[in-house]
Amino acid sequence: MGRVEGKVAFITGAARSQGRSHALRLAQEGADIIAVDIVGPVESVHAYPMATAEDLAETVRQVEALDRRIIATQADVRDSAALKAVMDDGVAQLGRLDIVSANAGIFQMSPALELDDAAWQETIDINLTGVWNTCKAALPHLIEGGRGGSIILTSSTAGLKGLANTVHYTAAKHGVVGIMRTLANEFAQYSIRVNSVHPTTVNTIMIQNEDVWGLFDPANANPTQDSAVEAFKRINALPVPWVEPVDISNAVLFLASDEARFITGVTLPVDAGNLVK
**Coil, helix or strand at residue 183:** helix
Gap between the Cα atoms of 268 and 183, Å rounded: 16
Gap between the Cα atoms of 136 and 130, Å rounded: 10
Rg (C-alpha) for the chain, rounded Å, is 18
Gap between the Cα atoms of 63 and 243, Å rounded: 23
Active site annotation includes 190? no
Q: Which of 169, 213, 232, 242 is catalytic?
A: 169
DSSP state of 112: G
Whether residue 201 contacts residue 243, with contact meaning beta carbons closer than 8 Å, is answered with yes
The distance of Cα 12 from the centroid of its chain, to the nearest Å, equals: 7
Whether residue 206 contacts residue 50, with contact meaning beta carbons closer than 8 Å, is answered with no
Per DSSP, the chain holds a count of helices (H) and strands (E) of 9, 7
Gap between the Cα atoms of 180 and 153, Å rounded: 7
Identify any residues that bridge with 119 across adjacent strands, giving them in sequence order. Answer: none
Q: Which residues are catalytic?
A: 169
